[in-house]
Structure 1
């Protein structure tokens, strides 16, 4: 990504077939798919850095019934993926969106592999019954890996990307169809016409305005989101009559390091590979791989409103992101559990007893205390020992623009707004009241591809 340079605003043309707003994985995927289907497409990004919130994703991409799973001996079922996601989302998920999603995750994984982006390792996230979370063989965090390689494909396909360019308004023609955008580029306002626009602007997790409007109880929470996640796509869509849905459904991520000026999300893969959570007494208090909503509520209910992730070298070897967490000073080290406990100011006897009990549960594959059934492939017994202090923070906004499974944007009467498409976190309905770890990256590719395909069909229908 460091060697990918957006084009200067002076090269922005007056007209394209399709304008994609946002350069995260959804926007880049949509642009690649549309370009490969013969459209002249442009990507506009308001921030100087490309990649949006995708850059911060760490765990992986969920998919079911994949060849990768079979190579790892995992036999899966798309129907199970659907039902578990529906259950985890409080049964508030849009069933049509969810159905399209789960049945297109395996093809999306194949599409990435066809573009030189293989995800051949597996882990597990909360709320899932088996390993569906695909990640790079290097175990690198999924987000930056995906963005770097999608940008390589974008370069090869000669798709123009402009940043920073802020879209300030969606334009309509006399029939009510979207006909382009107003932008501010290099300090100058311009109009760029297009036959269709794809909104891939991400969520509103960094918008104090939207958070205060829809969830005032979360107004003082920190966020894992990048600063640009301010709901711009929602504002643009609302202004042309789009309906917003489930805007009060905001996900709090349970394991976020907040002791530094920069907030760091500690990915679910850490728990998926065997880490446990303890309170300031050194005791477990929750099934660490329950849904994010349950784990976050359990941490918030503690007197300290925070907890510690506890792991060993064996777990660390399976989560490369821990090298980064350590490099930026988030990881507490101990040669022994007693030394680690002393550094955390936790009773060493309690911590040792907790870990001993957990290791026995792993051996027996039976967690009598909290009924955890996944992420139990290894105990916590290989020196050294490590801890990360975590607390919940705003992570993901499940609500957003009301769309069809074809990514068409709907107005308040349930009518399609011609020429306007939306995909990724800017759209609402897929996740219900709890987004499962690994489903957001899957959503970017599944619905990014869908947007690229559907915008192509729409343009063909105009001829």
Structure 2
């Protein structure tokens, strides 16, 4: 496919049925869904690059009871998906949103497939008991694959997507309903009227201001987020009286390579396919697939506040993202475990013993040391051997705009602000105090589709 062409700003109309702010997975899914229901929509993106944080997602998209799982011999249960996500979120998840999410997860996989976007492989992430993280058969990182594929659909359907257009404020009509936006375009401001506005602007992981306000303890942490994740949607919503919820719930991702100016998230699929974590002495210290919160806190508690991911060629064969990590110089190579240990300045006997003990645990299906039960499909016995230095970084903001299951934005009294919708990472409540890997991409499609349907219902009535 040719490179996606954004629509020239000269073609930005004065009014639409719905304006969608943000071009990540949520915004694109919503735009496609609303357009297919007969709505005249426009997607506005402030950055030059389209796709937002979705581009950086690497593991996959969680869903239960899918046909894809059955093809892989996996018998899953939506209730288990609900229960595990609720437990992993500290039982602080909005139950209505979580219920909607798990029930609509297999439908979202089917909806993508109906648009030629096929996720035919499955892996596992932390906090889950079954392989329910769907990804392309090529095992390519989900984010870039999804953004490119959704943009291809948008291009086919001639949905206008504008970049470098920043929404500065929301416009309310005389009845108090949101009825458009004011945006800066080429240094000029322009009012764009709309029957409904969807905020799909992503989280605030790259906003020093919001992090300092709600989580001053994380003020010095680096972030995996793209530079545009500055909480713009939160500001827009707050200005029209929206309530923010659970803003102190900020997820720190345990495995981030941050020795270079550019920070790289090392996807959970690397551990899901069998990698282990060791400290600077070459010893394991945690169940690598516990929740992100626990794994991150355990790494931060180490004297060096960092650790090494250790894996072999077998894991590498099953986690294609490693090829990219290697290409950008993040991977240390060793022909043997002892060779790798020397390069990491570890005692070769200690690292060798750690790997041998782990391999026995995989063989026995019993990790006596740390009780790991998943990501044990293969041991670490296929030469060569590899390591990536990692440390925790701000990754995801669970809190955000308070919405209901219809993606309608709520004010401080719990009343709906007419005409205003929000979905994806800009909204809060679905994940509780810890987001499970693979659930954010699922959220973008599930609630992106829902937002597309609900703005259509509203626009048809107004």
TM-score of the superposition, structure 1-length normalised? 0.99
Cα-to-partner distance string for 1:346-397 (whole Å, 9 max, x where unaligned): 1111100000000000000000000000000000010000000000000000
Cα-to-partner distance string for 1:147-196 (whole Å, 9 max, x where unaligned): 00000000011100111100000000000011100000011111000000
Q: For residues 41 and 81 of structure 1, what CA distance do their matches in structure 2 show? A: 34
5 Å-filtered alignment, 1:199-238, equals 199-238=199-238
> In the alignment, is the contact (CA less than 8 A) between 2:18 and 2:459 conserved in 1?
no
Q: Which residue of 2 aligns with 1:294?
A: 294
> In the alignment, is the contact (CA less than 8 A) between 2:273 and 2:378 conserved in 1?
yes
Q: For residues 126 and 347 of structure 1, what CA distance do their matches in structure 2 show? A: 29
Asked if 1:128 corresponds to 2:128, the answer is yes
Cα-to-partner distance string for 1:106-146 (whole Å, 9 max, x where unaligned): 00000000001000001000000010000000000000000
Runs of 5+ consecutive residues of structure 1 not aligned to the other structure:
none
Secondary structure in 1 aligned to 2:393? strand
5 Å-filtered alignment, 1:415-454, equals 415-454=415-454
Deviates more, 1:122-131 or 1:5-14: 5-14
Shift of 1:406: 0.4
Q: For residues 398 and 148 of structure 2, what CA distance do their matches in structure 1 show? A: 26
Shift of 1:9: 1.5
Q: Which residue of 2 aligns with 1:61?
A: 61
Q: For residues 107 and 190 of structure 1, what CA distance do their matches in structure 2 show? A: 38
Asked if 1:458 corresponds to 2:458, the answer is yes
Q: For residues 6 and 403 of structure 2, what CA distance do their matches in structure 1 show? A: 30
Shift of 1:460: 1.9
Shift of 1:7: 1.6
Secondary structure in 1 aligned to 2:428? coil
RMSD: 0.6
Task: Label 1:2 to 1:354 Cα distance change in 2 as closer, same or farther (>3 A).
Answer: farther
Q: Which residue of 1 aligns with 2:157?
A: 157
Q: For residues 8 and 36 of structure 2, what CA distance do their matches in structure 1 show? A: 24
Q: Which residue of 2 aligns with 1:108?
A: 108
5 Å-filtered alignment, 1:295-310, equals 295-310=295-310
Q: Which residue of 2 aligns with 1:313?
A: 313
5 Å-filtered alignment, 1:37-116, equals 37-116=37-116
Q: For residues 350 and 297 of structure 1, what CA distance do their matches in structure 2 show? A: 24
Aligned length: 462
Q: Which residue of 2 aligns with 1:194?
A: 194
Q: For residues 64 and 249 of structure 1, what CA distance do their matches in structure 2 show? A: 25
Cα-to-partner distance string for 1:276-324 (whole Å, 9 max, x where unaligned): 0000010000000000000000100001100000000000000110000
Shift of 1:201: 0.1
Shift of 1:2: 6.7
Shift of 1:5: 1.7
Secondary structure in 2 aligned to 1:104? helix
Q: Which residue of 2 aligns with 1:267?
A: 267
Shift of 1:8: 1.9
Runs of 5+ consecutive residues of structure 2 not aligned to the other structure:
none
Q: For residues 249 and 346 of structure 1, what CA distance do their matches in structure 2 show? A: 36
Shift of 1:461: 2.1
Q: For residues 115 and 7 of structure 1, what CA distance do their matches in structure 2 show? A: 22
5 Å-filtered alignment, 1:283-432, equals 283-432=283-432
Runs of 4+ in 1 over 2 A off after TM superposition: none
Q: For residues 3 and 136 of structure 2, what CA distance do their matches in structure 1 show? A: 21
Deviates more, 1:7-16 or 1:409-418: 7-16
